[in-house]
Structures are given as structure tokens and as C-alpha cells.
Structure 1
């Protein structure tokens, strides 16, 4: 049964048409399915917009997929007289046709899975995941019935091929000149597609979901691959060098600091008179994907976090903290070096990222032993290399056997959080027995797909995000209870926060509510119960900690010590890999590639809608935009110029860096 469409086509043209219709049809169904899957209500105009623009992007990708087949068709004669060779060619072509259709289908399934996690088409996160195939393939295998789905896709593809593939029609035979002519024609079409369309063609809309639906997944993937690192000064608005220097210095200055020179942000920080906790150990836990709205203290009614809610009641709760980005490495960057996000890739994964001014190195200079403790394999995302190059002792899941710890549960991302904490406590016990203070940055993994954990811990099912959150909460409570029996507990500050939220996408490009994360400082006897509601960024955590400990040091942090910051100067940074947001005074500045700055005023966190949007829409916006530019431009240029490297403090002894693995 061959569709009438192919009856009068030559063999090659019929096959190319079949492949084109298969790709365009699956792309259309994917777009419609994602629109329904998003759970949003779209107007007729929005439907027409993303279907029409989406077809343009599908058409731009199509020639690239057809080119290999056109080359094959040009080389292999259409008329084959020998039955055996003709049969072999038919089988060979059929195998590849089924493979093509299966590939289109797998991409479609992948888009649904990616949308469910990130509410967008493929982006730079997908590119990063392709680099770490072991973790990604393992995660897919543990999260989905891959064998069953793969078999179903191949069988379905074979069925479609059997019913619709153009064959045995005795069609007209195309000469070799015509067959070879298709190659440059498709090549020109491929070039025209990538030259004539830009991401802005799809994304120029007030509704971010409509923009994403207007894209094609493969187009988005390869665009992200080509633009994974962005030069700020090439793509974003900038200030002249002299104005930039004056502006950033005025922004980072605060009481108790004095600049070292006439340019840059290098400054001496003097400890507060009321602070003096130089003997306190510090355990900083960055929890995987812990959105603020998971916690009961922020209104969640599912009882996912009873342990964290109790710790919040007994400790100091920060209620207005925002993550800088949407990736673990972005959160680690902010927590360690206190720097606003630079466009493109996180500094954790960039070259020349060793020897930076960072909280672990600063504490090491003043007597603490800094640790990076991770529940997975730390080569992922360059994490072990980054922390080791910045003077942390590195510990990850490869150390469990040497410590004699048998994991209660593990998946492709890491061991169960309870085993991670056991591993960390082994290090703390040794440091305490040696008379050393310690600072440990612990990164969890259990609240990550496939959401598996030891049985019998929580009353939530495996393989669901709610179960992952609940187990993560249980493990933190269990860790605190076990730690309370240790001799070092009474003199230890526990800081519990998140690397980022579970979902950062929304109707708008940078919805601030999707970057809201919790933070709890818990130290019975050292910190009384309380609530801190001032606006705060992840980049402020390190300098706030240094100030609380009562330390004098030389700083290149961009963050503030919130406890001594004058009211009205609070601000936060939020970002994707391309869009850079600056929150201050209830307004949001958005800097984007090759676009004028946009200011959103009167943002409603509940509905994720903006009251007023535009460039310099409200009196005073020019100054706010200049602030945003100064922060982001300075962070990018100072890192590029090597001016975020460590500054030796007076009296520091040269210390040998640990051997990295």
C-alpha cells in the first residue's frame, strides 16, 4: 500500500519525499503534543504563531537530514537489473528508512522528557549532557523502560515503513545528472535555512512557552552547541572602561571594606566588632534542585520536608534568597567564588578556573581544612578538578570503599544522601581528632531523576520527584541527629541551601519565583531562631559567612555581607545561559544577546506576569540598567583578565596545593 503521493516519482525523489513527510509530520505532532503537555492555555493566535513559525524551523533542519540520503541516491543507480542486487539495495534502503524514522521518534520522545524536566526545547543543558554519556545514558536507563520503548519505536517505525515506503512501482528513472543536482540544491537550502532564521525569530514573543514551541528541537540543540560560551562584550550592552570601574566599585563597597588600589574590586575586609567565631566548623550543604516551594515553611501542603521545616524553626531562616542559575555548576560557582553568572558556560567548567579567590581558600588561609564532598563521580561537570584547583580536599563516591562504607542505595548520579553524609562525617571525625577546624561543601544527588533511594525511609514512592524531595529531607534530618552525637557538633554551623530550583522555566523568560531557594543556618547555642527576609543572592552567602565568623581578609567577592549591608542595597542575580537578570527594588532588568535591556516592573510571582515591560519604561530605569550592566560586565571581564585570582593576605604562609585527581 503506497500513498498516491509517490506514484509518479522516481525512486530517489519518492524516498526523499517519504523522509521529508515523516520528519515534518513527527515534528508537527511533537509541537502539538508539547503544547498540550505544557498544561498552558494558548489563544488561537498563539497556536497559529507557533505552528507557522515552527514549520519554518522544521523546514530549515530538513535539508540537513536529507543530504546524506541524496548523496547515497546519487551514487547508487536507480535502475538495477540484477534481482539479487536490487533485493539487497531494497533491504539496505529499508533498514536506513526505519532507522531514520526511529531517530525522528526518539528525538520526539526525548523532547517530551526534556520538556518535562526543563519546560523548554533542547538547549545548552542537553549539549552538556551529551558530553557525559555515561551518566546521561545511565539516568535514562534508570528512569524509563528503555528496552520496551526502543523495541516499540522500532516496531512502529517498521510498520509505518511497510505500509508507506515507495517501492515496486516501476516509476520513471531519474538520470545521474538530476540525482547529483539534488545535492547542491539541498546544500543551498540547508545554508539558507541556518542563515535566514535566528533563535530570535522564534523567541520574539511575550510568552516564553510560545517561543519555545516555535522552535525545532534539533535546531535548538545545535544552536546551543555553537553558542555554549558567550563573549559578554561582544553580545551584551557595555559601559566604557572608566565608567565601568567607578560603577562597580560603588556597587561592591560596603561598611568595613577599603579598596586596595584605584581600579578593580580588590578590597580589604575588616571583621565586625560583634563577630568572633574563629573556632567554628562550617558544613555547607547544597541540596540538588531544592525549590523553595517544596518546603512547608513556604506554603507547601504535601508534608515533603518536615525535617527542614523543624530546622528552620530552630535556626535562622533566610526567606528571600535566589539562585543565580539553573544548573548545579552555576550554583557551585556562586557559592564558592561569589561571582554573578557569566553568560554561557559556568566558570566551574571553563579553562583557567584554578587559583581563584574563593571561600574554601580564604578559610584555609585562616586555619580551616576545606573539603568538597560529592555523592557522585566528581569528574562530571569538571567539579573535582575545579575544587581541587581551588585548594579543597576532594572526596566523592570513589572514596566509599576505602572508608569501608557500603552504600544503602545508589544510581547513576550518586549514592544515597545518607551514605554521602556518612562519608563526610568520616572526614570531620579525623579533622577533629587532629585538632583541626574544617569547612565542608557537601553536594547531594538524591533529589535528581531517577529519584531512587533506600526503601523504608519515607512514605512516598520511588521514581517520583516528591519521593526524592522527601528522602532528601529525611537524610538531612538523619544527618543532623547523627552529627549531634559527635564532639564537634556543638561548635559547628550547618548551612543548608540549594544549588538551584527544580524548574526555572515559566511563561516569562526569567520568572523570579522559579529561582527562589531556601537557606537555613542551624547551630544550637551559636545562632538563635530567627527569620531574615531581606533580598539575597547566592553570591552573598560566602561573604556573609566570612563576616559572621569574624574574619579579616582580602576580597574579590562580588557578594555582600548581608548582616552589615545598608538597607535598600539588596539585589539578586538570576540567569539562563543567555539571559541575565538583575532583581532590585521589585524590578527586574533582563540583558540578552544583541538586544536592548528590558525592565519588568511590578512582577507578580504568583501569576508570573509582568505589569510593565520595555526599555527605560519607568523613571530611574537608566540607573538600574547601568547597575545590571556593571555587575555582569565586570564579572565577565575580570574573570577573563585573571583578576578573580586569589590575592595573598598579609601574613599568609605559602601552602602547597593538594594533588588533584
Structure 2
């Protein structure tokens, strides 16, 4: 009898496990999964995956269990039915009429959601109360809808996980949390990137078909509702199973290997999403390996002269108050450029510009998101655990590149073709003294094309020229930081501009259109009076993909960067390892600026420069130096990889790929581990103590 009562759970559970198994198999054979697994490794992945899926399904079942617990005919008998209906109506009026009800105090849409839920409950309860002959039919309809919602969510989650993995090579992480926050951009991006209507119709069709099957197999359970004893057994059983599942997941989610793909495929996306949602910031001092703070600071500051946080940079040459235009390009991996071996000819302008510029051939982005790139170029500090500083509450009055230029009398602006509230950019840049030019500043006639991320880069180029012309007329030098948007999914742009159609939605098209837009920008800039006195810094914010065999695959962090100024910057290639955080201190050095600094990046042409780079994900913090990659992670874990460059047939100075060989504990370079810990621990400490503020 008990088995009969839990048939809905069994059918839904089998359906969920089957869908999850299929998704896991797809991930195993997905082109983005570059790791090779032997038979035993595949079995291990599938077994751990099934266990994770069982635990997760059990944790979702209490909602269905509560639904069955409240199934009853006795509550519709007089006088109970009328009392319950009266209480529901009173509760509805309380939410509707009382200004300071508990839901409105909670904020957001809580009151509207509660009002809709109680209103729907009143309608259904009234039908069941006043139409007793239709009660079974109504109950069956509600049961069908309940099962349909479960099935729909299972399928929708599977499809969502597939698209997320297809984009990032990962299960859900903090990016998925952001997707819930910035729904307008994200939903718009999905609508423009994928055939949403056919996809949703297919999802609903499949969900409906499976719901009918499960409904037919289990609807007889509604003919004989569980009695009080059966309900008690049902609830007790689920309480025990939930406790076991929580305990089990606390163990299985900590099972890690040396292969990121293995960890991701055997995982379940929902616990990862929950973890990301509840860990938006990571306390370095709680999760990461530490050494004595004074020793950490001494180790880290030893690279500077003098070895202190606040230092004075003094040039022997006169200052050059040239205009500066910093262009950070969305998702421009190094391997898109011909200089790094690409043969598709999708960056013809940037490749030609690189030959006339100071080009940094061995430079690494600090992260895999735009806010990380903006953080590195604006604050010039190593990435810290958790979310970017740009998106944290304590993100204002920092020591920034903008504050250095402002101290020299420059106009300082941040330019962005989209709405700068996205990713908290507006709050961050305005809070640090930048003026903002974004989509809000465009007149309708100034927009020839736009998608959900913003106006086309070509339109933004024209707006940037307008802004710079206005600044030049004021007689003051200007520093403008322009963040491009077109090289981002859905990769749409105006037709007829390049030889790849704007509606092809191809990554290569997005790259090539951005390259085309930059050519147009420079063609317009050359006609302006301020052009000869301007330095241009062109750099990617991050790579197009971050998926790889290890936590921090080196080739997924290498980005192109160049400094160009006709008659001022002599063409050359800087081949030593450097970080995104070194670019702006290097530029200030080229301008012979005298200033007090708290930047943790270095001028690569200074005598004290030490070749190194910082790379990070949301959790893993990497330090590249002396052909080693040292990675520190939560739970105070440390890994190290020996790096061996692979030969590049095009040119040895443009090496892109490395072999990363895991170094066992007893063979690790302890000095580099201490340097990695010192860098990240010191940065986290200074941020916590507001010592990196102006």
C-alpha cells in the first residue's frame, strides 16, 4: 500500500534520473570537453553523478509531499470549509489593504506574489467547496498541473544546463546567479541568440507527453486519499530522506579530481547554483591558505621600490599630458589574431595596428568575465576571491587609473554601448569619479543597429568621437575608457559591413565586426585635431571561453594588448610574462607621470619589474611565474603545474599554448607557493581594511 502511495515520486524520480543521465552523457561527448576518460573514469563519473541526482531529487520532493499531505475531503465539510475559506479571504484582504503587511515589509515583488498565490488558492478552494460532484475532476486537473510543472522544470533545467555548458564548459556557477539578476539583458540575449519559440514549443510538447504518461500511471492514487497515519509516515520518511540527502551532498560535492571536466560532469547543477547564490563573496581568511600577515606583506611588497604599499613614482623626464583612449574589447582571445596563428583573417585591422604598436605578446587576463577585466584595468590589483570589486558594496573611492588622470587635470569618462547599470558598472565608475556615456546618451537617430547588449560598436565609435571632440574643445586633456559590446552572443550586427552576415550569429562575425568598427573609429580619429597628441591602449577584457582540462587553462587567459601612438610609441614586441594589471602602470610610465600610487601592477619597463601574471576564476586564484602555475583554492588547497611552452610555427614570440603538468606535493616549488599566497592574502587584507582607497 505504501509503495502505491509513493508511485508519483517513483515515476518522477525515474524520469529525472533518466534526463540527468542523458545530459551527463552529452557532456561527456561534447566538443568542449577536451579531456579523455578511460572506461573506469566514465563509470566513476556516472556513479557519482547518479548519487548526486538522487540526493537532489529527494530534496525537491518535499514540495510534492506537502501537496499530498494537504489532500483531504474532510476540510470541505461544514463548518471547516467555510472557516478556511473565510480565513483565506481575510488573509487576501490583509495583503491587499494593509500598507505595512509583512510581505510589503519584505520588499520586492513578495506582496504581489503572495496576493496572486492566495487569490488562486481561494478560487480553487471555492470550486472544491461549492462543487462537490466536480471535486475529483478538479483535483485530477490540479494534480496534472502539479506533475506538469515538475516535468517541465526537469526538462527546462536540463536544456538550460546544456546551453550553459555549451557556453562556459561548466555547470551552473555565479554567472548563472547573475543571469537571474540581470534578466532583461539575459533574456534578451537568449531571445536573440537561439530559436526560442521552436525550442520552447518543443520543451512544452515533450513535457506534456511525459506528464500524460505519468498522470495515467499514477492518477488512481487520488481515488483513495492517504489517511492521517499514511500522511505521518510520508512526512517522516521524507524528513529522514532529506536529512540523508543533505548529509550525502555535503560529502559528494567535495569529491574533487585533477580534471575540471570530470568534476563538472559528475556534479549536479542545482547544488552548484545554490552554492554560488550563497557565496557571492568568499572570505579569503576563512577559505584559503594563509601565512603570517606581516610576512605576506613583506614578501609581496619586496617587488617595489620602496617596499611599501603607498609609493611615489618619480620620472627623470618631463611629463607628457597626452590624451589617452583605453579600449577594452569584449571577449577577444589571443587566438583570434593572425599574430597568434589564426588563419581566418577576422582581425585584419588589429593585426595591422599591432605591427605599428608596442605589443605585449605574453599577457594574461585576470579573469573570465568583463567585470574582472575592467577591475584589472581600473584598479590594477590582482583578482580576489569571490565577485569582482566592481559588483561589491564597498566599491567606491578606490585608487584608480581615473583618479591618477584626474589628479593631472584630465577629463575622465567611461563609455559603454549598453546600459551601464549592467554588472554594476555605472555605480562603480560614478562612485570613482568617472563621467558615464552609455546607451542613455544616444538619440534614436544615432543608433543604426542595436541588440540586447547595446548599440553596435560602430555607433559607439561615432559617439566616442563626439565625446572626445567636446572634451578637446575644453582645452583639457582627456582619458576615456571605452568598453565594446558587439563581440558577445548573440553576435548580431548590421548587415553589409563585413563579409559575414550580421544575422549569421557567429563568433567569428562578432570578432570581425568589432575589428571593422575599430578601423572606422581610427579613421574618424585621424581626422581630429587631438589625434596626434593621443595614446591608444587596445586590450581584451577576457578570452571568449574559459573551459579547459585544468582549473585555470593558460590558453584561455592569454589576451592581446597593444599601445599605439603615431610618432610617439615605437613599434616593438614585449615578450615577457605580464598581467592585465601591469598595462596601465606601464602606460603611465611611458607618459613619464609623477604620482603617488597604490597600484599593485608594475611598469614592465621599470628596473624592478618581475615577470608574472595573476589569473582567477570565482574560486581558484592562480599565480604564473618562472614557468609554474600555482593555484590556491577554497578549503586551503594548493596545486601547482609545471609549464612547458609548445612551439608556434608562426613566431616563437607568440607562443599561445602550454603543456600543464601537475606537480606532486613533495616536488612543488614552495617559494612560488608562498609568493602566490602572499599576493592574494595581502590584496584581500588591504581591501578589507580599505587601504586601497584614495
Residue in structure 2 matching 1:28, options 21, 37, 44: 21
Secondary structure of the residue that 2:667 maps to in structure 1?
coil
> Which residue does the alignment assign to 2:500?
460
> Which residue does the alignment assign to 2:369?
327
Cα distance change, pair 629–111 in 1 and its aligned pair in 2 (3 A): same
Distance in 2 (CA, whole Å) between partners of 1:607 and 1:313 is 22
Residue 297 of structure 1, CA deviation: 0.8
Native 8 Å contact 2:412 2:480 kept in 1: yes
Residue 68 of structure 1, CA deviation: 0.7
Secondary structure of the residue that 2:406 maps to in structure 1?
helix
Residue 405 of structure 1, CA deviation: 5.0
Distance in 2 (CA, whole Å) between partners of 1:27 and 1:296 is 41
Distance in 1 (CA, whole Å) between partners of 2:565 and 2:49 is 54
> What are the equivalent positions in structure 2 for 1:20-419 lying under 5 Å apart?
20-37=13-30, 38-40=32-34, 41-77=36-72, 83-165=133-215, 166-167=217-218, 169=220, 174-198=226-250, 201=253, 204-251=256-303, 253=304, 257-258=305-306, 265-271=309-315, 273=316, 275-401=317-443, 406-419=446-459
Distance in 2 (CA, whole Å) between partners of 1:321 and 1:194 is 43
Distance in 2 (CA, whole Å) between partners of 1:191 and 1:123 is 24
Cα distance change, pair 99–320 in 1 and its aligned pair in 2 (3 A): same
Work out the number of aligned pairs and report it: 624
Residue 128 of structure 1, CA deviation: 1.4
Cα deviations across residues 516-541 of structure 1 (Å, max 9, x unaligned)?
00001111111122111111101111
> Which residue does the alignment assign to 1:632?
680
Native 8 Å contact 1:61 1:190 kept in 2: no
Distance in 2 (CA, whole Å) between partners of 1:199 and 1:444 is 43
1:582 to 2:623 alignment: yes
Native 8 Å contact 2:411 2:479 kept in 1: yes
Native 8 Å contact 2:323 2:479 kept in 1: yes
Native 8 Å contact 1:599 1:616 kept in 2: no
1:17 to 2:2 alignment: no
Cα deviations across residues 163-222 of structure 1 (Å, max 9, x unaligned)?
333245478764222224323432343333233334874651122111100111111111
1:536 to 2:582 alignment: no
Secondary structure of the residue that 1:450 maps to in structure 2?
coil
Provide TM-score, normalisation by structure 1. Answer: 0.91
Cα deviations across residues 254-304 of structure 1 (Å, max 9, x unaligned)?
xxx436xxxx51111112x3x545221110000010000011111001111
Native 8 Å contact 1:602 1:612 kept in 2: no
Cα deviations across residues 349-385 of structure 1 (Å, max 9, x unaligned)?
1112111111111111112111100111111111011
Residue in structure 1 matching 2:589, options 528, 547, 555: 547
Cα distance change, pair 184–537 in 1 and its aligned pair in 2 (3 A): farther
Distance in 1 (CA, whole Å) between partners of 2:631 and 2:437 is 38
Cα distance change, pair 71–194 in 1 and its aligned pair in 2 (3 A): same
Cα deviations across residues 29-62 of structure 1 (Å, max 9, x unaligned)?
1111121223544211221111111112112211
Residue 487 of structure 1, CA deviation: 0.8
Distance in 2 (CA, whole Å) between partners of 1:152 and 1:445 is 31
> What are the equivalent positions in structure 2 for 1:440-519 lying under 5 Å apart?
440-461=480-501, 462-519=504-561
Distance in 2 (CA, whole Å) between partners of 1:564 and 1:250 is 14
Q: Is there any run of 5+ residues in structure 1 with no aligned partner, and where? A: 1-7, 647-661
Distance in 1 (CA, whole Å) between partners of 2:144 and 2:658 is 49
Distance in 1 (CA, whole Å) between partners of 2:225 and 2:466 is 75
Secondary structure of the residue that 2:267 maps to in structure 1?
coil
Secondary structure of the residue that 1:520 maps to in structure 2?
strand
Cα distance change, pair 65–555 in 1 and its aligned pair in 2 (3 A): same
Q: Which moved more, 1:322-331 or 1:525-534?
A: 525-534
Residue 11 of structure 1, CA deviation: 6.0
Q: Larger % of helix: which?
A: 2
